[in-house]
Amino acid sequence: MARKVLAALIGNVLGIFSAAQPATQLTQPTTQLVWKQQVEREIRKHDSWVEGYIENDYTNKIEEGHVHLTNLPRKTIDLMAKFGVLGFTGAFNPENDHLLLPDISEKSDEVLDSIDHELWHSIFDSKGKRGLYYDEGFSRPILEEIVAFTKRKVESPEFEKLRDLMKRAEESERVMGFASNISVLIKEYTEQYQLFKKTNEYISENEELKPYISKESQRKIDFTRENVDKQWKPAIDYLLDTNRKLQDLKGRINEEMPLANLVETRKFFTDIYKNLETYEKLGEPIMQYRKTILAEYHSAERKEREEMIKKLQEDLDKLPEGEKLSDEEKEQIQEIIKSLDIDLPVFDAEEINFSLQRMTGGLSRTMRNVTTFSNTYKIDEILGNEDEVMARIVDSLYSLYFGEVTQNKFPLSRADLNFLDRFRMNDVPIFRKGVEKYLVGIELMKQGMSAKEIRGKLEYATSFTFDGREYSWPEANFRIQGTIPEEKIKSEEAQKN
C-alpha cells in the first residue's frame, strides 16, 4: 500500500539514524483542540458506519471499536524532518488497526486529506481483526468482482497518461538514486585516496627519521607505496572522469526526459556502479600502508630520541675536570632529557579505526540506505492492487474529485457510483452520502459549475436541495474525547531498553 510508504520510512529512519541527535523543532503542532476538530470533521463527513467503528474515546487505554487513531511522537517527526522525510500523510496499519495521523501544522492538509483513503483500507482490512467488509450483515461485491471492477477502471484510456507519467517518475527516481549512490562512492574513495596522499606527505615531512628505519622496512614501504599507486592511478582517473559525467547528467535527468533515455541512463549508471563496487577492495591496502608507516615512523622517532639522549650523556661525561657540572645544573639537564623522552602521539588511532570501519561493510550499508529511499511510485503496486484502487475511488468520492486522473485521485463515472452503492450494512449503503453528493456534483458540472465550487458547496454539506429534491446528509456522530495518543514506535522502545 503506497500510503504505507510513510510507515516504512519511519522504520527506516529510526533504524538507520537511531543514534542521531534530536533535531531542532521544525514546526509547532496545531493545538490539540483545533486538530481534534479537523479530524472529527473529516470522519463525520462519512456515513454512520464510522460510529463505533472508529474509536472516539481516548480517555482510557482500552481499545474499543476497530480503528484507533494515533499521533506520531514529536521526536519522530523532528527526526524524520531532519533527514528530509517530509511526505507526511495518514497511514492505516492493519497489524494493529491504528490509523496514524501525524499532527504537523505545515502538513495538516495532506494528513487530513488522506483520511478518506485510509478509511477504505480499514474497511477492507483482512489481517487479524478483519474489517467491516467481512462483517456479518454486510452485503457487498465479492473479491473477484472488486478485482474485475478496479482492473477495468485503470485500463480505461484516461489512465494511459498517468501510467506514462508514473513510469517516467519511477524511472527518473531510480536513476537519481543511482546517481546519488555513485556520488557517495566517489566521495568515499576520494577521501581514502586523500589519506594515502597525506601519508606520503607525512613521510616527506619526516625525512630526517629515514636513517632510523631499517633497510628491510624501507624496501617494504617503497614496495607497498608503488603497489597502491599502481592500483589507484587508473581508479582515480576513472573517478574524476565519472564525476564529471555524473555532474553533467544529473543536471539533465528529470521526469520530462523520455522513458527510453532514462532507461539508457540507468543502464549507464548501473555499469559505473558495478565498476565502483570493485574499488571497495582498494581501500584496505591504503589503511594497511598508513598503519605501517605511522608505526614505523613512530618507532623511528623513539630511536632518534634515544640516540640524542645517549649523545648528550656522553658529551656530559666527556667534559674536562674543571668544567664538570654542579649538582643543580645536572638536575636541570636531567629535566631536559626527561622532557625529550616523552612519547608524542604521532597518529590518531581513532582516525584509523573510523576509516577501517567505514570500509568494511560501512560502505555497503550506506549504499543500501540510499537505495531504500528511492522508488516511491511503484506503478504496479498502485494500479495493479484492487485495495489501492478502491482506496483512491473512495477518496475521490468523498473529496468530490472531478479533475483529471492523477496518482491519488480519479474522476468517477455513474457506473463507479453504482458499484459503490452495493456496499451495504444491514441493507443501508455505507457510501450513501458520498454517492448522492457525487451524483449531484456530476449534474452541477453539466450546468457549468466549477469543480472547486462544487466541492466547496457539497463536501461538508449536511443538507442540499437540487432539482426539486431535498437531500439529507447528517454528520456522523463522532466526537473525540481525550487526547489522540502517540503511536509507540518499536525501534524507539528498543532504544530505551
CB nearer to Zn ion: pick between 367 and 382: 382
The site string for Zn ion over 155-194 (x = CB under 5 A, - otherwise) reads ----------------------------------------
Q: Does 1 bind Zn ion (CB under 5 A)?
A: yes
CB nearer to Zn ion: pick between 239 and 382: 382
CB nearer to Zn ion: pick between 5 and 80: 5
Cα–Cα distance measured from residue 412 to residue 435, given in angstroms and rounded to the nearest whole number: 10
Cα–Cα distance measured from residue 367 to residue 363, given in angstroms and rounded to the nearest whole number: 6
From 52-60, 107-115, 252-260, 382-390, give the range in contact with Zn ion by CB under 5 A. 382-390
DSSP letter assigned to residue 100: E
For residue 345, the minimal CB distance to Zn ion (Å) is 57
CB nearer to Zn ion: pick between 93 and 199: 93
Residue nearest to Zn ion as judged by C-beta position:
3
Q: Where are the alpha helices (DSSP H) in 108-214?
A: 108-113, 115-123, 143-155, 160-205
Looking at 3, 45, 140, 437, which residue binds Zn ion (CB under 5 A)? 3
CB nearer to Zn ion: pick between 97 and 296: 97
Q: Taking Cα atoms as reference points, which of 56, 31, 30, 33 lies closest to residue 43?
A: 56
Cα–Cα distance measured from residue 186 to residue 238, given in angstroms and rounded to the nearest whole number: 10
Cα–Cα distance measured from residue 318 to residue 338, given in angstroms and rounded to the nearest whole number: 20
Looking at 162, 176, 221, 391, which residue binds Zn ion (CB under 5 A)? 391
Q: Does 370 bind Zn ion (CB under 5 A)?
A: no
Phi, psi for residue 99 in degrees, rounded to 5: -105, 105
For residue 383, the minimal CB distance to Zn ion (Å) is 12
For residue 122, the minimal CB distance to Zn ion (Å) is 11
From 34-42, 260-268, 342-350, 390-398, give the range in contact with Zn ion by CB under 5 A. 390-398
From 167-175, 385-393, 407-415, 432-440, give the range in contact with Zn ion by CB under 5 A. 385-393
Q: Does 5 bind Zn ion (CB under 5 A)?
A: no
DSSP letter assigned to residue 135: S
Cα–Cα distance measured from residue 102 to residue 88, given in angstroms and rounded to the nearest whole number: 7
For residue 259, the minimal CB distance to Zn ion (Å) is 25
For residue 76, the minimal CB distance to Zn ion (Å) is 21
What 3-state class would DSSP assign to 191?
A: helix
Cα–Cα distance measured from residue 383 to residue 159, given in angstroms and rounded to the nearest whole number: 9
DSSP letter assigned to residue 223: H
Strand locations in 46-102, DSSP E?
A: 57-58, 68-70, 91-93, 98-100
Cα–Cα distance measured from residue 432 to residue 471, given in angstroms and rounded to the nearest whole number: 11
DSSP letter assigned to residue 50: G
The site string for Zn ion over 112-151 (x = CB under 5 A, - otherwise) reads ----------------------------------------
Residue ranges binding Zn ion (CB under 5 A): 1, 3, 388, 391
